[in-house]
Chains A and B, each alone.
Chain A
Amino acid sequence: MKKLILVVLLTTYYLLLATDKADASSLSLGISPPIIIVQLDPPASVKTPITIKNLSDKSTTLQIFFKPFKAADTENGAVQYLTNQKGIPGPDQKLFEKVQIMESDNAIDTLTLGPKQKKTVMLHLGIPEDEPIADYYFSIIFLNKVDQKNSINSASQAIGGIATNVLLTIGKEPAQGTVTEFSAPGFVEHGPVPFTVRIRNTGKHVIAPKGVIIIKNMFGQTIGKVDLLPVNILVNSTRAIPDASQNPEKKHPSTPYALQPTTSPVAYWSENFLLGFYTATLTVSLSNNGPVYTRDIYFGAFPLTIIIALLVVCFIILLIRKKLKNRLASSN
């Protein structure tokens, strides 16, 4: 009897392991790179690879198309697609006719990937000599092509797509912009200290400002620094700049991610214990050739909670001492 039970259990266990789970149709795609930044002087012909991978166990056919975008109001690098837009805004609304996705030197608008298959296609930009100076921003979207199924039940079909962003700069104009905000709380009890740095691009081309915040104490000595992440700022948009420790490749970032809002990033100085008055100096260059801007702000720090805790401890010690003294006096 025991043997029978053991056999049943083992068989059940084996069946549970061996049975393939019913595979609800799914989609999984990966793409690299997530962004392509091109600066060119016409005429120019540019080719660059894009890798797209089917991460699922089912074949998929992808439609390829271009969609223009602008910077979203969240100031964190999110895109906002332009709806009801024919072509792309700018002096050349037919720019997409000069952009192709190529596979084996053939322009394509669909791509089929087998299970777990990876393919590399080429983005080709062919810009003629008379192209006017301007910036163009668009996503290259790879969208799962789904055949219409006649279902006997009411149903919604979920179509998935993945995108990579292209920032195209035609021509060369000097970088222009302003530091619209550099601020921190006027008073903090402890770190990390959040600095808000917002820069507006008023020029004609995308910029990736490089900057640093130097913190000095009330004695004028430099005690900290915060490197800013060189993020892209589109024309006629403002972006909030995070600190460089939020580089996604850093394995052990010091930034308290739990504090990082999904909108409007901030740059953190991670020093925890602070006491006194501080000066923070922002130095930022909009490009390799400037312009360079500096700003100063001041803030104070006082570990109120710690001081209060210490005072309470001292008070309790004194109270205990006094009571002991009184008790000794009364017993004598």
Chain B
Amino acid sequence: MKIKNLKLKICLLLAIITIIHFTSLKIYGFTMSNSNYILNMANLNSGGGYQNNSNYKLGSTVGQTAPGLSTGTNYILQSGFWYGSASSSATILFSFSLSSTSIDFGTLTPTNPITRTGLLTVTSGNATGYTVTAIENHPLSNGTTTIPDTTCDAGTCTQNTPSAWTSTLTYGFGYRCDNITGSSCATGLSNTTFYQQFASTSQNEAPVAVMTGTNSLPSNQAQITYKVNISGAQPAGTYSNAITYIATPTF
């Protein structure tokens, strides 16, 4: 088919040049390795086509040890990750911070929800990720009476399932998580009115992850908002509990 139209010819020529440029045939003859293994590939001859005589060898590099690797009588010990460098195993800290160890709700009055905030900060170091779990020892208690963990407005929230809590006539104790840097809070709490209970040791519940992150940022920070609201029937007293946060790197 003859193309007589000059403009069309130019367009097609431009398109062909673009396509050829970005799909330029790349031929790799390479050896992939890191300090723990060598994977040898065939050298490829661009003129003669692909040579199907690849030789694979996967194993430890002879004469080298992995960073942080040591051996002794009857044991091999790796301190740090297999893919870490010699300096990282010793110096890069996995760290965790709490902005405050005391969350003071002041004097509680009926149908007057109190909120307080605290910051959790994690630096994952050379771990690929981390989890921060939380669990309370028991619901807020004055020794004889408790403020129950909230079930939110619809009565549906649990330690694993958040739900909206906006009504001043909904009572209890709960929390929510908001991302400050990174996105490590559970996605179910993206709605700013959602809260959930803390898992409770007194009820034989397992700790729940409040932050789960990767190492995509130098550090991740989240804000925990604690909320408590009591009814007029709640006996007077000072109510307290303890919430334990543990930061664990991924393995």
- Is the CB of A110 closer than 8 A to any CB of chain B? no
Rounded to whole angstroms, the CA-CA distance of A165 and B15 in the bound complex is 55
Scan residues 45-100 of chain B and give those whose CB is less than 8 A from a CB of chain A: 46, 49-50, 56, 58-60, 68, 70, 72-85, 88-100
Q: Which of A42, A53, A149, A156 contacts B103 (CB 8 A)?
A: A156
- Is the CB of A102 closer than 8 A to any CB of chain B? no
What are the interface flags for B220-251 relative to A under an 8 Å C-beta threshold, 1 for contact and 0 otherwise? 00000010100000000011111111111111
User: Which label, helix, strand, loop or mixed, suits the secondary structure of the B interface?
Assistant: mixed
- Please indicate the chain A residues that have their CB under 8 angstroms from the CB of B136 in the complex: 156
Query: B32-40, B155-163, B164-172: which lies at the A interface?
Result: B32-40
Scan residues 209-234 of chain A and give those whose CB is less than 8 A from a CB of chain B: 210, 212, 214, 217, 219-225, 227, 229-232, 234
- Please indicate the chain B residues that have their CB under 8 angstroms from the CB of A97 in the complex: none
A232 touches B91 (CB 8 A): no
Which chain A residue has the least Cβ–Cβ distance from B224?
A158
A318 touches B251 (CB 8 A): no
A28 touches B75 (CB 8 A): no
Smallest Cβ distance from A303 to chain B, in angstroms? Answer: 8
- Please indicate the chain B residues that have their CB under 8 angstroms from the CB of A153 in the complex: 104-107, 238
- Is the CB of A78 closer than 8 A to any CB of chain B? yes
B95 touches A249 (CB 8 A): no
Rounded to whole angstroms, the CA-CA distance of A49 and B23 in the bound complex is 52
Given contacts A27-B101, A33-B89, A159-B245, contact A38 B77 (CB under 8 A): yes
- Is the CB of A9 closer than 8 A to any CB of chain B? no
Q: Which of B30, B56, B76, B183 contacts A283 (CB 8 A)?
A: B56
B95 touches A30 (CB 8 A): yes
- Is the CB of B125 closer than 8 A to any CB of chain A? yes
- Is the CB of A106 closer than 8 A to any CB of chain B? no
Rounded to whole angstroms, the CA-CA distance of A11 and B48 in the bound complex is 82
Rounded to whole angstroms, the CA-CA distance of A258 and B214 in the bound complex is 11
Given contacts A35-B80, A146-B242, A288-B60, contact A24 B251 (CB under 8 A): no
B7 touches A317 (CB 8 A): yes
Smallest Cβ distance from B66 to chain A, in angstroms? Answer: 9
Q: Which of A38, A39, A221, A248 contacts B124 (CB 8 A)?
A: A248
Rounded to whole angstroms, the CA-CA distance of A158 and B224 in the bound complex is 11
Given contacts A24-B100, A158-B100, A219-B25, contact A318 B8 (CB under 8 A): yes
Which chain B residue has the least Cβ–Cβ distance from A222?
B28
B28 touches A28 (CB 8 A): no
Rounded to whole angstroms, the CA-CA distance of A163 and B24 in the bound complex is 49
Smallest Cβ distance from A222 to chain B, in angstroms? Answer: 5
Which chain B residue has the least Cβ–Cβ distance from A157?
B242
A223 touches B28 (CB 8 A): yes
Which chain A residue has the least Cβ–Cβ distance from B107?
A153
- Is the CB of B184 closer than 8 A to any CB of chain A? yes
Q: Which of B26, B102, B207, B243 has the most CB of A within 10 A?
A: B102
Rounded to whole angstroms, the CA-CA distance of A288 and B61 in the bound complex is 10
Smallest Cβ distance from B141 to chain A, in angstroms? Answer: 10
Smallest Cβ distance from A159 to chain B, in angstroms? Answer: 5
Rounded to whole angstroms, the CA-CA distance of A219 and B103 in the bound complex is 65
- Is the CB of B118 closer than 8 A to any CB of chain A? yes
Q: List 19 A-B contacts (CB under 8 A).
A: A25-B101, A30-B96, A33-B90, A35-B81, A43-B74, A53-B95, A74-B212, A155-B104, A159-B242, A160-B247, A161-B246, A162-B96, A162-B246, A167-B251, A208-B82, A227-B32, A249-B83, A317-B7, A317-B11
* Given A222-B44, A313-B11, 6 further pairs, Cβ under 8 A: A31-B94, A77-B128, A158-B242, A167-B251, A285-B58, A310-B14
